[in-house]
Chain A
Amino acid sequence: MLAPASITVENVSRCFGETLAIDRVSFEVKVGGCCALIGPSGCGKTTLLRMIGGLDAPDSGSITRCDGESAFVFQEPRLLPWLTLLDNVALPLRLRGMTRAESRERAAEAISLVKLSDAHARTPAQLSGGMRMRASLARALIAKPKVLLLDEPMSGLDDVTRHELDEELRELWERERFTVILVTHSVAEAAYLAEEIIVLTPRPARIVARVATPSGERDASSWTSPQLNTSVRIASEAMLRAITQDTRKMLRT
């Protein structure tokens, strides 16, 4: 039996003034699924994710979230500079009124998931870029969300840290099986992390292709596996076609 849909995006459009940013986009992500949205810079990927997360509303169409709580991981870690790592991660629970001791206990668990257990007492300034991103991920995971929305979380990191975090994130998803929607501009990252890649056109964003990635567990060697590379090639070609068509259209006008 197929898993039910966790998130359904139906004919969603969004305008900013006269500019159409998203044009009738429809897709769904099943419960426990992982889907990546890719497309050229400024195509509206983040706008779409923000609408799914409830930070923005579509002008037309609908977004249905059947699963429970969702959590957002932004492009920047967005940690409070005056709090320690432990208190930053505990923040969502503290804001819900949980006691300091209890929320810290839960935060310690979430921090161990992202392998930062030895940095509890450090402030964000004392953490590296990768550690800050892990902290942001731990904060998102602390409330045990059913849906995780990731907005280019690795964009500011160097390649080595990025690969390392991608592998940890995939491992975490395989273990916890929350529903994930990931926005990225890296096709390889999308293919490694997601089960399906949704390729968007340059603004206004429309779906130009949906590419399935190889099923099964991944590890460090998967980055170079032929099956994964096939998905990368198909998604890249689809994106390139969309960009070329858009450039031709621009040149004609």
Chain B
Amino acid sequence: MTRTQQLVRALSPLATVAVVILLWWACKILFEVKDFMLPSPWAVATAFLADPKPFLIGCFETAMNAAIGFGIAATAGVLLASVLSLSRRVEQSVYPLTLLFQMVPLIAIAPLLVVWLGYGRPSIIASAAIVSIFPVIANTLSGLRSADPHLQELFHLLNASRVKTWWKLALPSAVPNIVTGLRIAAGLATIGTIAGEFIAGISGDRAPLGVLVTTGLRNFQTDRVFVAVLLAALVGFAVYGCVSLASRLLLRRFLVQR
């Protein structure tokens, strides 16, 4: 790829963003939409630049919540799938329950999380973890079952214990599937975090983005809501980006060399 092509490739998404902003501005002017319904891009930028500190703190808090929630989902998901993979009977007993758990809308569980864990970070993290754990379990389980039967036979012949077979064969074989699960979970973790913050977030100096959205709505400060929403999208993008980067490294180690 030539340098010009690389530049075009890098600038294309930015050009799209510029077009969207222009359309937004055009709609605002052409249809004379009121500020509390649709603030102008300039008003949104001003709302952020006038007082960036709470937004930056909100970004940090939301990113922390999402990262911790994702970390818990990733670890617990891989471990739970590993336990389920050890026995078909255990899988048949437990897997449908995890599926059922996934089907319950988060919005229905979140108030219960507040009852059990109180307002604040624990409930938000639990919300992020609950939303993102299922893809990790489902993908890891499928990956753990996909180890090459020839290699499984080799491990059997070498009298490898179950734990060693899991560690040295099943888990590395499952890496491509685990990575897929983690990528899906990364996107979901931010959604779960923001939803958790709507219900269990605490306002104040260290209010996360979800709380800034609800506070802005209550005060009819739509420009501040827009800032918080855009920043939430950026946080989601950053979490997904970090996971994608880590995934790429994992895949390079366990997949490319095949």
Bound Cα distance A155, B171 (Å)? 31
A82 touches B157 (CB 8 A): no
Bound Cα distance A92, B168 (Å)? 11
A123 touches B257 (CB 8 A): yes
B157 touches A53 (CB 8 A): yes
Bound Cα distance A72, B151 (Å)? 13
A82 nearest in chain B by CB position = B254
Q: In the complex, which residues 157-197 of chain B have their Cβ closer than 8 Å to any Cβ of chain A? A: 157-161, 164, 168-169, 172
* Distance of B171 from chain A, by nearest CB (Å): 11
Q: Which residues of B contact A (CB under 8 A)?
A: 150-151, 153-161, 164, 168-169, 172, 253-254, 257-258
In this complex, the member of B159, B168, B169, B257 whose beta carbon has the largest number of chain A beta carbons within 10 angstroms is B257
Bound Cα distance A94, B163 (Å)? 13
A78 touches B158 (CB 8 A): no
6 further A-B contacts with Cβ under 8 Å, apart from A82-B254, A96-B159, are: A80-B151, A82-B258, A95-B161, A123-B257, A125-B257, A125-B258
Which one of B151, B161, B258 contacts A78 once the chains associate, using CB atoms below 8 Å? B151
B150 touches A80 (CB 8 A): no
Bound Cα distance A80, B158 (Å)? 14
Check A81/B157 contact, CB under 8 A, given A76-B150, A94-B168: no
* Distance of B246 from chain A, by nearest CB (Å): 16
Which one of A72, A80, A96, A125 contacts B157 once the chains associate, using CB atoms below 8 Å? A72
A81 touches B164 (CB 8 A): no
B257 touches A81 (CB 8 A): yes
A80 nearest in chain B by CB position = B151
B160 touches A95 (CB 8 A): yes
Q: List 20 A-B contacts (CB under 8 A).
A: A53-B157, A54-B157, A72-B157, A74-B150, A78-B151, A78-B154, A80-B151, A81-B258, A82-B172, A82-B253, A82-B254, A82-B257, A82-B258, A95-B158, A95-B164, A95-B168, A123-B257, A125-B257, A125-B258, A126-B257
B257 nearest in chain A by CB position = A123
Chain A interface residue count, Cβ-Cβ cutoff 8 angstroms: 19
For chain B, what secondary structure do more than half of its interface residues adopt (helix, strand, loop), or is it mixed? helix
A84 nearest in chain B by CB position = B257
Please name all residues of chain A whose beta carbon is closer than 8 Å to the beta carbon of B159 when the two chains form the complex: 95-96
* Distance of A105 from chain B, by nearest CB (Å): 19
* Distance of B56 from chain A, by nearest CB (Å): 41
* Distance of A53 from chain B, by nearest CB (Å): 7
B253 touches A80 (CB 8 A): no
Please name all residues of chain B whose beta carbon is closer than 8 Å to the beta carbon of A96 when the two chains form the complex: 159
Which one of A81, A82, A91 contacts B158 once the chains associate, using CB atoms below 8 Å? A91
Please name all residues of chain A whose beta carbon is closer than 8 Å to the beta carbon of B157 when the two chains form the complex: 53-55, 72
Closest 8 CB pairs of A and B: A81-B258, A123-B257, A95-B160, A82-B254, A78-B154, A125-B257, A92-B158, A95-B158
* Distance of A96 from chain B, by nearest CB (Å): 8
Bound Cα distance A125, B255 (Å)? 11
Q: In the complex, which residues 79-136 of chain A have their Cβ closer than 8 Å to any Cβ of chain B? A: 80-82, 91-92, 94-96, 123-126
Please name all residues of chain B whose beta carbon is closer than 8 Å to the beta carbon of A81 when the two chains form the complex: 257-258
